[in-house]
Amino acid sequence: MSVHMTRLSIVPARRVAIGRALGLLVAVMIVGITLAAMGRPPLELLTLILRSTVGSRFGIEDLALFMTPLMLTGAAVWVGVRVGLWNIGAEGQFYAGAVAASAIGLFGTMPAIVEIPLMAVGGILAGMVWIALPAAARAWLGVSEIVTTLLLNFVASLIVFYLATGPWADHVTGALASTERLRVGLPEVWGAVHIGFFLSLLAVIALAAFLSRSRFGYESAVVGANPEAARYAGMAVSRNVLIVLLLSGGLAGLAGMIEVSGTVHRLQGGLANNYGYLGIVVAILARRSCLALIPAALLMGFILDTGIVLQTAQISASAVLAITGLVMMAIAVGDELSAYARPAIQPKTSGQTS
């Protein structure tokens, strides 16, 4: 007895959601059994995780702070993936945005009401500048943006280390390997949650609206789906590629600006916390929907936060990493499996499999 399956070319969102939920469930069960085998009561840990994340004021604040950069770096990667471009350099553009914002925040002399918007613009522009070269190389020379954007991450990270321990190092309060505290910061709205969270949320919603309604949104989608057809239809392929990548860099730069001015308040190495790379995961989780970046960032934040809770519950850092990987893989498998379905009409020759 065999079951014939076909791969659906378009998978309904609900199917994907069910596939992922099942994947997640399987992963949680495997983790639970493993923990039980290690002598750790899984239900107690689960209660602890829920209490420390969604079940407490601090936990919810932390989730919001995790989501803030993830929504933006997720969006940065997502706008590219949507048209078949892979910006692996969100980490670098994040740093570039943080550097520009810090320069204004450290050395500016204007009131906060002027300076904060200026820092945001500076952060976005710096992110765009950081991706400009890979974007131009991709648009006109066809150089793979994957490698170029990736390599610039290391350059950006080293520049931040240099600035934070060299010319911009804090010699006043004695903070090590970081700059002084920025003079201005994003106002906190709810506990430690600052307006950056709402800005990021708005940015994702605005992006979704813009891409679904504007001519650019349509054209870039066509360019992504079929550059030859787009060219035939008279669309400027190179220009669209360039704009998409600049938009991507700008979003990542904004994430860096918000992280440094809202959460960390000092420029320092390690600031990006892998948010640029995690943005890739968020973008993939969001699939075709821009608004889905919000729950995807929430899920990613929840997984990261869970990692921290598990570590304080004395599960080793490597085990936590393994668990995180397992959960992500289970979701990916669920995702992929949801694309397979039994066709409405089963072939008659049920005895043979081809």
Partner 1 sequence: MTALLTRRATLLGAGGLAALRPAAASALRPIREQDALIAFGHTGPVTDGGWTHQHDLGVEAVRAAFPRLKTIFVESIPYSADATRIFRQFVAEGAQMVMATSNYGDFIRDVADRAPEVAFMECDGRNVSGNLGWYYITHWYASYIIGIAAGLLSKSGRLGYVASFPISSVYAGANATLLGAQSVNPNATMQVISINAWFDPQGANQAGAALVDSGCDFLCGIMDEPAYLRVAQERHVWAAMWNTDMRRFGPDAYVSSVTLDFAPYYVQQIGDRLRGTWRPDAHFLTLGHGVDRDAWGRNVPESVRMQADAARTKMLAGWSPFVGPIHDASGRMRVAPGQTMDDMALYSWDWPLRGVSGLA
Q: What is the CA radius of gyration of the chain?
A: 22
CB-wise, 64 or 211, nearer to partner 1? 64
Strand partners, 48: none
Strands (E), the chain: 6-7, 188-190, 193-194, 340-341
Task: Report, in Å, the least distance between residue 51 CB and partner 1.
Answer: 9
Interacting residues with partner 1 between 243 and 272 (CB under 8 A): 259, 263-266, 268-272
Task: Report, in Å, the least distance between residue 72 CB and partner 1.
Answer: 15
CB-wise, 6 or 56, nearer to partner 1? 56
The one among 161, 291, 337, 339 contacting partner 1 by CB under 8 A: 161
The one among 58, 107, 140, 190 contacting partner 1 by CB under 8 A: 58
Hey, is 7 helix, strand or coil?
strand
CB-wise, 9 or 314, nearer to partner 1? 314
- Which residues, in sequence order, are CB contacts of 23 under 8 Å at separation 6+? 330, 331, 332, 333, 334, 335, 337
Decide: residue 38, CB within 10 A, 0-12 exposed, 13-18 middle, 19+ buried: exposed
- Dihedral sign (CA 247, 252, 253, 257): positive
Q: Does 176 bind partner 1 (CB under 8 A)?
A: yes
CB-wise, 162 or 340, nearer to partner 1? 162
CB-wise, 46 or 308, nearer to partner 1? 308
Query: ∠ at Cα 253 (248, 256), nearest 5°?
Result: 135
Strand partners, 270: none
Report CA-CA distances (Å) from 101 to 42, 98, 104, 345: 44, 5, 5, 59
Q: Does 39 bind partner 1 (CB under 8 A)?
A: no
- In one-letter notation, the amino acid at residue 30 is I
φ/ψ (deg, to 5) at 226: -160, 90
Contact 169, 185 (CB under 8 A): no
- Dihedral sign (CA 206, 212, 214, 216): positive
Q: Does 47 bind partner 1 (CB under 8 A)?
A: no
Q: Does 335 bind partner 1 (CB under 8 A)?
A: no
Count Cβ atoms below 10 Å from residue 286 Cβ, excluding itself. 25
Binding mask 277-316 for partner 1 (x = CB under 8 A): ----------------------------x--xx-xxxx-x
φ/ψ (deg, to 5) at 190: -140, 100
Task: Report, in Å, the least distance between residue 65 CB and partner 1.
Answer: 7
Task: Report, in Å, the least distance between residue 151 CB and partner 1.
Answer: 17
| Count of residues of this chain found to bind partner 1 when the rule CB under 8 A is applied | 38
Nearest by Cα to 275 from 82, 129, 30, 68: 68
CB-wise, 178 or 248, nearer to partner 1? 178
Q: Does 184 bind partner 1 (CB under 8 A)?
A: no
d(CA 297, CA 282): 6
Q: Of 106-114, 116-124, 157-165, 244-252, which part binds partner 1 (CB under 8 A)? A: 157-165
Q: Of 33-41, 102-110, 171-179, 281-289, which part binds partner 1 (CB under 8 A)? A: 171-179
Binding mask 64-103 for partner 1 (x = CB under 8 A): -x--------------------------------------
Residues that bind partner 1 (CB under 8 A): 52, 56, 58, 62, 65, 158, 161, 165-166, 169, 171, 173-178, 181, 259, 263-266, 268-273, 305, 308-309, 311-314, 316-317
